[in-house]
Each structure stands twice: as structure tokens, then as C-alpha cells.
Amino acid sequence: MTQTTPSRMEAACSLLAESERRYLLYQLAETRRGNLEDVISEIAAWERGESGSVDSEYRQQVYVSLIHNHLPRLADYDIIDYDLRSGDIVLAEGFDEIRPLLEQFKQTESESEIRETPLP
């Protein structure tokens, strides 16, 4: 994110306004990397409020939204890098710029919406 400060702030708020993106980043903040299949399972279960397996149709909806919307958008702002062939997702250098804002979002989310793990 090499834009001017107000534009960067607006972009960060816009990126974090979507709950699937926030939850993806909450997960990646813990280990700095993840696998697409695992992320899909976690996001689908989180959105449905379930701790077990989620039906394949809903998992497919999450998959489509991630690969066609959320992953490319986060990659465009250098927040993540990803490889669809391997399924690898890793945090990029731009993540450190939005980390403080993400931490504020996490603090204000209800505990039922996110796991109770602090950002490292």
C-alpha cells in the first residue's frame, strides 16, 4: 500500500469491513501462513456458528468468494500472497501496516464471532 496516508487508511478500512477478510487475517496473524482448504473450513464453520464440518455446498460458496474476491483484493494491497495451485496463503509485508487496525477490529468483535486467541 504505497498510496497517500488518507487513501491507505480508507483502503485498510474498506479491506477490513468484510468479515471474511478479517477472519482470514485473524487466522493468518497467528502463524503468518495457512492453507486454502483449512481456511475455507474455518471460515465456513465460523460463519455458520458450527464447530464441526459444514456442508460442501456452503464450503463451495466460501471458496468462490475467497478466490474471486477476498484473496485477490488482499493481494492487490500486498497484505497476502497466495498460490491457488498449492493452496498456500502467506502474509506479505503490507500486513504490518494494517495490523494495528485489525487488532482494534478483533477487540471489538463479539467473542462468539472469533476465536479467543490474541494476535501474536
Q: What is the predicted pLDDT for the residue at 56? A: 87
The SS3 assignment for 83 reads: strand
Q: How far apart are the C-alpha atoms of 41 and 55, rounded to whole Å?
A: 10
Q: Tell me, what DSSP letter sits at residue 35? A: E
Is residue 26 included in any domain, yes or no? yes
**Range of the structural domain that residue 89 is part of:** 5-108
Is residue 118 included in any domain, yes or no? no
Q: Tell me, what DSSP letter sits at residue 85? A: T
Domain count, the chain: 1
Note the pTM of the prediction, 2 decimals.
0.80
Q: What is the predicted pLDDT for the residue at 5? A: 58
| pLDDT means over runs of 10, the chain (120 residues) | 63 90 93 93 82 81 96 96 96 94 84 52
Q: What is the predicted pLDDT for the residue at 48? A: 79
Is residue 119 included in any domain, yes or no? no
Q: What is the predicted pLDDT for the residue at 91? A: 97
Helix axis angle, 19-31 relative to 95-108, nearest 10°? 110
